[in-house]
Amino acid sequence: MSPINDIEIINRVIEGDKEAFSQIVQKYQNMVFKYVYYQFNNYDEALDITQDIFITVMEALQSFRQESKFSTWLYSIMVNHCKNYRKKMNRYSTVSLKVMKGEDEVDLQLQDYRENPEDKVVNEDSIRIIKEEISKLPEDFKDILTLRDIDGLSYNEISEILDINLSNVKVRIHRGREYLKNRLHARGLI
Amino acid sequence: MTLKHLKFEEISDLLDNELSDQEKEQCLSHITVCEVCGQEFDSLSKCLTLLSSLKNECIVIPDFSERTIMICRSREKKRLFLKAVPAIAASVIIIFGAGFIRTGLFNESGSYVAANLTGHNETQKIIETVSNSNGRIIQITQAYIDGEFDKNSVAAIKRVLQKNKIKHAFIVNSGMLVNPAAGRMEDVGFTLGSASVSLNNDENQNYASIESDKVRMRIFK
Ligand SMILES: [Zn+2]
């Protein structure tokens, strides 16, 4: 479906054809759910948050100025929603699994230094491990790597969605990738 | 082969095709001959392959569309209602006798208000009572209605609204709201669904001690 169709549907919804919004939801729900799921690594939580995001989007539809792509606008609502949710949750969060080692904050976790499986890169195990590692990423890296390397958005789109300038997008992508790469290396995955 | 190894940024940009043709050329030629950088390149590209494979990962989720529309619809209804309430309150509806409100929010019979407030039967009853007692409605909220009446009609109002919790205070001077005890609107234990609705002597005295012929009441739905 092209972006033009998004706008057509949105106009219909604004004009009162609420049912038309189901096309928007169906088009984006997988993407939104996955983003949320990788953020929180909890299926049920992700279901609730995804639902909330679509409600927010539908209710805010009037304020969509059509200056950017609809998807970009939707993603920024999604990103902010997750951020706010995380903030809210952090207030009640349990004991952090992080310890200070010298200057660095280090995750307390069991290291898995198995040998790199020589066959395919992508298998069930590696998927499980990378999901674990994504969920443990610092928030800034998690946001950006999900948008860039899972969803495949452009640097420009990410800059709009996260509301940071292009050079910051680049820096964050570099750092996030380096961080994740090192984590995956430590777990013997790459 | 250039002497310096590639920076991580360069490898990352190379994989994202963010380098100029010239830079790309240089990086590629370095990678092909430098084992260290070649390995780094492989690692990152594997990492990115894994990440992008998540895009196609199949996670079964329900269809959110129906529920989204349903929830938005019901929330909109609620919002419209909540919006209407302060508008009603702000307009300071004045009811003289059986006269009815003629702001845009009401139709001639006044049933619009009643239909849009929760417990609308209660609301209608209160409004009618107030208007039948030459009273003035000051404020309508979801929880209560504030009205101002002649002291003489208090007993009559109580009789009709005996099932509602009524709070009241007196108005001494023009618009000044004073409770006999605290000087503010507060519950003086009028009636709470009680069968005894007539003013007892104490209460009468209470009223008499105030130099005012108006009483303000908060009537809870
Ligand atoms: Zn090198």
Q: What is the pLDDT of residues B115-161, one digit of tens each?
A: 333 345 566 666 666 666 667 777 676 666 677 767 667 666 666 66
Name the residue range of residue A15's domain: 1-113
Domains identified in chain A, total number:
2
Domain boundary among A113, A138, A165: A113
Note the ipTM here.
0.78
3-state SS class at B216: strand
Q: Do A17 and A105 share a domain, yes or no?
A: yes
Rg (CA), chain B: 36
3-state SS class at B179: coil
Q: Which residue of A has its CA nearest to B67?
A: A51
Q: Do A102 and A127 share a domain, yes or no?
A: no
Rg (CA), chain A: 19
Please list every residue in chain A whose beta carbon sits closer than 8 Å to the beta carbon of residue B44: 177, 181
Tens digit of pLDDT at every position of chain A (190 positions): 555 689 999 999 999 999 999 999 999 999 999 999 999 889 999 999 999 999 999 999 989 988 889 999 999 999 999 999 988 887 654 433 333 444 444 443 333 333 344 445 678 889 999 999 999 999 999 999 999 999 999 999 999 999 999 999 999 999 999 999 999 999 998 8
Question: Given CB atoms, is A149 within the 8 Å cutoff of chain B?
Answer: yes
Please give the interface size between A and B, counted as residue pairs whose CB atoms are below 8 Å apart.
117
Determine contact, residues B105/B90, Cβ cutoff 8 Å: no
Determine contact, residues B178/B207, Cβ cutoff 8 Å: no
Kind of pairing, strands A104-107 and B136-140?
unpaired
- Whole-number Å distance, alpha carbon B5 to ligand 1 midpoint, is 3
Q: Which residue of A has its CA nearest to B43?
A: A190
Q: Which has the closest alpha carbon to A18: B66, B64, B152, B140?
A: B66
Determine contact, residues A82/A49, Cβ cutoff 8 Å: yes
Helix then strand then coil, in percent of chain A rounded to 5, is 70, 5, 25
Q: Do A4 and A49 share a domain, yes or no?
A: yes
The pLDDT assigned to B171 comes to 43
Nearest to B51 among A50, A58, A149 (CB): A149
Which of B6, B41, B47, B76 should one mutate to test binding to chain A, selecting the residue with the greatest count of A CBs within 10 A?
Answer: B47
Question: Given CB atoms, is B23 within the 8 Å cutoff of chain A?
Answer: no
Q: Do A109 and A41 share a domain, yes or no?
A: yes
From start to end of A39-89, where are the E strands?
none
Question: Given CB atoms, is A19 within the 8 Å cutoff of chain B?
Answer: yes
Integer Cα distance of A119 and A136 in angstroms: 26
Integer Cα distance of B28 and A44 in angstroms: 45
Domain boundary among A82, A113, A144: A113
DSSP A141-181: HHHHHIIIIIS---HHHHHHHHT--HHHHHHHHHHHHHHHH
Determine contact, residues A163/A172, Cβ cutoff 8 Å: no
The token duo for B194 is 């009680």
Q: Do A28 and A103 share a domain, yes or no?
A: yes
Q: Show Cβ contacts of residue A90 under 8 Å, excluding neighbours closer than 6 positions.
A: none
Domain boundary among A79, A113, A147: A113
